[in-house]
Structure 1
Amino acid sequence: MKEKKKFRLFDAVLMAVVVILVVESAAPAAAIGSSQFFWWGSLLILFFLPYGLISAELGTTYTGDGGIYDWVKMAFGRRWGGRVAWFYWLNFPIWMASLAVLFTEVMTQIFGLSLNKPILIIAQLIFIWLVTAISCYPVSDSKWILNLAAFAKVSIMLCLGVLGIYHAVTVGMANDFSGAALLPKFDLKSLSFISVILFNFLGFEVVTTLASDMENPKKQIPQAIIYGGILIAFFYLFAAFGMGAAVPADQLSTSGGLIDSFILLVGGVNPFVVIIGLLFMYTLAANLISWALGVNYVAFYAAKNHDMPAVFAKENPKNQMPIGASMMNGIVASVLVIAAPFIPNENIFWAFFSLNVVALLLSYIMMFPAFLKLRKIDPDTERPFKVPGGPTLLRIIAYVPLALLIITLFFSTIPLASSEYGEKIPVLIGTIISVIVGELCIHFAGKKGSQK
């Protein structure tokens, strides 16, 4: 019998880069300005490294289908598990709506189109339901989608960085990259965008599912965390440097900033910019398709355990795909893009994207205390990878990223100046509505489950 081929360290690092690297969030992160280099370095050490280590232990120890939902449920009970599953799922349709808006913005940018609102909404609905339809079939788990998306993502970011270097040498920089400018700024704008950097680091728990296929997971997983994190930060910063060379940070659009940068760097829209735009548009769809299966299965698994509404437990009997969650993705995203013209925010992409970031960050908050709790209540379970350190160090490793999540959520949702009202109040209202609806859904799902 032929021995199964083992996953190499290179494969694990590539998987981390493919899953975590999100091109559309490069512009919001770059909007911080030159001090983003400080934030990337600091958060790589203070957030990504401990988060990756904790994900590695939990993911290799508890290998059930529920993932982060299972970890929190085992530590703190069904209600908290349901909340995690709710926000982990909810971030996806909101993300889908934001990328549908961005998809049409890029399309009009590169082809010079001028479309009215109804036509734009129709195009966004086509994008949403095409992604939803593909997500209902096993093709959504195909490696070629990830591989092609990886090529597109890396190509875009490398091209942007190289053009930025050329522009800096021949023309000069649009932003100040001197020593003083690289120091952190604690203004409201910078603190509001730091949540995007945390968002850019999330998703590593997907890589831990490869542990059983690795030759030495105890050694390879922490290596994949370190090398993958450094590569991810490099690609983001290289692209950010390119944008910094082309567009002043205070004029950088969180939605069109990436394509605007290419247009400025090459002197207008030409075939090269069109190709970059098409690759970018593909990554938007591929990101959603490649993440859909994991998100949908968490919601499906939670619904099977009566911790999410029963609609999420519906599956296709022919291919066992979670079509209930997929359909709900499409419905919620469609409602959002149709309601978009009535939202008091000029940058609809950012309104949706920032709410998506908030929902995803909320779903990870309980993971860190769950790690400590499971160490305490379940110490005898074999852990293929175990975070090193004594009780004090483990508490630091868990509570520092937890504190960072809570702080960034506060600055992302609470308007602290009148200039922030138009941007943050819709996000705050959306967050409150999401919490209330989630509590109702979890309550009635649990009630129905107890009656069976």
Structure 2
Amino acid sequence: MEKGKKFRLFDAVLMAVVVVLVVESVAPAAAIGPSQFFWWGVFLFLFFLPYGLISAELGTAYDDDGGIYDWVRRAFGKRWGGRAAWLYWVNFPIWMASLAILFTSVIAQVFPVHFGTWINVVIQLVFIAGVTFVSCYPIADSKWILNLAAIAKVFIMLSLGILGIYVAMTKGVASSFTVKTMLPQMNATSLGYISVILFNFLGFEVVTSMASEMPNPKKQIPQAIIWGGVLIVIFYVFAAFGIGVAIPSDKLSTSSGLMESILLLIGEKNWFVVLIALLFMYTLAANLISWSAGVNYVASHAAKNHDLPAVFAIESKKTGMPTGATILNGVIAAVLIVVSPLIPNQNIFWVFFSLNVVALLGSYILMFPSFSKLRKIDPDTARPFRVPGNQLLIFLMTWIPVVLLVITTIMSAVPLNGTAEEINGKVPILIGTVITVILGEICIRFAERSGNKNSKNGQSTKK
């Protein structure tokens, strides 16, 4: 192994698991109902496989720190690259805010303490501060955090599945698992959660961002995608079955559903429930830490090319980490937490979580066409891993995922049936999405003007 190369294949597979396997999204996916198994199967072949293969090709052919931003910029120019970088980055602080809320929710569910609203806000701010602090240091130096989190996630998923099988065999199931119920249910409620399944598949390009830490990234990254992907799909489906055994989908809470399922499957609060809760809370922080380097390096790289404001390009002189983007994560998440008690929606976790999902899916809508175009305009770049297939297959692998991303994004943010429940649930998400896009355009244009100004000043100095 080369000196200084800290990530082996085993570490890469574990990182794929800890990055892609997000335990908190199992309950929202399970809220779809038994038909979720149909969607898992469809998206596995129509989205996950193309996405994994395309990520492997792009990640090994263009292996700098820009990631998805660099791919889109090369294909469609600076502004589109800036938009991809913004959407990819801004989902993170929104996600951090949602997990901070979930963190205190788990405490309230399992432990005999009941805090007021503003005490919860303080705890959530401490959670955000802790994640932000750890994220300011190289992820490779904290890989034990990620490895432990991967083990914790696997343990939680297996526990849900095994308990579900046991309860199903001894007491029966809360949901009806029949051929009819597992076929697609075309109602606005279940369709509104489908985007979570796509979200549950995302994150492999974060693994490619660790290429510089791997002794043989061109070989290890595709291997990590294949092995990590197989494990991830198995764990998601297994855990979703356990939740379905415990709670009917129409009674399932997107925020508290996982721990409620554990409590119902066990039947009482005991040491095992407490253990699951502690592991769950730990994985919430580890999720964010595992994603932080990838999203912040992308934003930093974009800022260095004047496609995002210069604050994103600030780096630690000691570690080289993108501390400007990292601290901004914490600041924005903290602001969202402080204003969250004022938002007129009972499920604040779902408002923030779904807004994060919409922003992240938006960046991937730009990624797939970039793959196809780079094949055409940059055929001479070496591609150590190349997606197999003829021209028709490449076309389908590019555009079917785009169609799925667009449709599921609309379903998540746009009211479809006009009921008061759906309007109250989705209008805050839609408004948040519009605000997020507008802020992104402002940042991109500001960075563009600053870059042009610096360029002119540089030319004037030379003259």
Q: TM-score, normalised by structure 1?
A: 0.95
* CA deviation profile, 1:165-218 (whole Å, cap 9, x unmatched): 111111100000122221121211221111000000001123345678576956
Task: Give the alignment partner of residue 425 of structure 1, picking from 424, 427, 432.
Answer: 427
Q: In the TM superposition, what are the counterparts of 1:387-406 in structure 2 within 5 Å?
A: 387-406=387-406
The equivalent of 1:32 in structure 2 is 32
Would the aligned equivalents of 2:21 and 2:200 in 1 still touch at CA under 8 Å? yes
1:451 aligned partner, one-letter code: K
The equivalent of 1:440 in structure 2 is 442
The equivalent of 2:82 in structure 1 is 82
The equivalent of 2:153 in structure 1 is 153
Deviation at 1:248, TM superposition (A): 1.1
Q: In the TM superposition, what are the counterparts of 1:172-187 in structure 2 within 5 Å?
A: 172-187=172-187
2:323 aligned partner, one-letter code: I
The equivalent of 2:296 in structure 1 is 296
CA–CA distance in 1 between the matches of 2:135 and 2:414?
Answer: 34
CA–CA distance in 1 between the matches of 2:329 and 2:336?
Answer: 11
CA–CA distance in 1 between the matches of 2:321 and 2:151?
Answer: 27
Deviation at 1:133, TM superposition (A): 1.4
Partner-residue secondary structure (3-state), 1:142: helix
Q: In the TM superposition, what are the counterparts of 1:102-117 in structure 2 within 5 Å?
A: 102-117=102-117
Matched, 1:68 2:107: no
CA–CA distance in 1 between the matches of 2:200 and 2:394?
Answer: 24
Deviation at 1:269, TM superposition (A): 1.4
The equivalent of 1:192 in structure 2 is 192
* CA deviation profile, 1:289-332 (whole Å, cap 9, x unmatched): 12111111111111111111111111222222211111111111
The equivalent of 1:243 in structure 2 is 243
1:449 aligned partner, one-letter code: G
**CA, structure 1 residues 3+251, in 2 after alignment: closer, same or farther (shift >3 Å)?**
same
**CA, structure 1 residues 135+216, in 2 after alignment: closer, same or farther (shift >3 Å)?**
closer
Would the aligned equivalents of 1:141 and 1:290 in 2 still touch at CA under 8 Å? no
User: Comparing 74-83 with 1-10, which one deviates more in the overlay?
Assistant: 1-10
CA–CA distance in 2 between the matches of 1:245 and 1:319?
Answer: 48
Would the aligned equivalents of 2:97 and 2:336 in 1 still touch at CA under 8 Å? yes
The equivalent of 1:125 in structure 2 is 125
Deviation at 1:342, TM superposition (A): 1.7
2:377 aligned partner, one-letter code: I
Deviation at 1:226, TM superposition (A): 4.1
CA–CA distance in 2 between the matches of 1:215 and 1:138?
Answer: 20
Q: CA RMSD in A?
A: 2.0
The equivalent of 2:367 in structure 1 is 367
Deviation at 1:240, TM superposition (A): 0.9
Deviation at 1:5, TM superposition (A): 8.5
1:189 aligned partner, one-letter code: T
CA–CA distance in 1 between the matches of 2:139 and 2:12?
Answer: 21
Deviation at 1:221, TM superposition (A): 5.5
Identity of aligned residues (%): 65
The equivalent of 1:20 in structure 2 is 20
Partner-residue secondary structure (3-state), 1:381: coil
Q: In the TM superposition, what are the counterparts of 1:329-408 in structure 2 within 5 Å?
A: 329-408=329-408
Would the aligned equivalents of 2:372 and 2:394 in 1 still touch at CA under 8 Å? yes
Would the aligned equivalents of 1:140 and 1:293 in 2 still touch at CA under 8 Å? no
Deviation at 1:11, TM superposition (A): 5.3
* CA deviation profile, 1:23-49 (whole Å, cap 9, x unmatched): 000000011111111110110000000
Q: Which runs of 5+ in 2 are unaligned?
A: 455-463
Aligned length: 451
Partner-residue secondary structure (3-state), 1:184: coil
User: Comparing 178-187 with 237-246, which one deviates more in the overlay?
Assistant: 178-187
Partner-residue secondary structure (3-state), 1:269: coil
Q: Which runs of 5+ in 1 are unaligned?
A: none
CA–CA distance in 1 between the matches of 2:218 and 2:308?
Answer: 33
Would the aligned equivalents of 1:76 and 1:370 in 2 still touch at CA under 8 Å? yes
Q: TM-score, normalised by structure 2?
A: 0.93
**CA, structure 1 residues 300+36, in 2 after alignment: closer, same or farther (shift >3 Å)?**
same
1:291 aligned partner, one-letter code: W
Deviation at 1:222, TM superposition (A): 5.2
The equivalent of 1:409 in structure 2 is 409
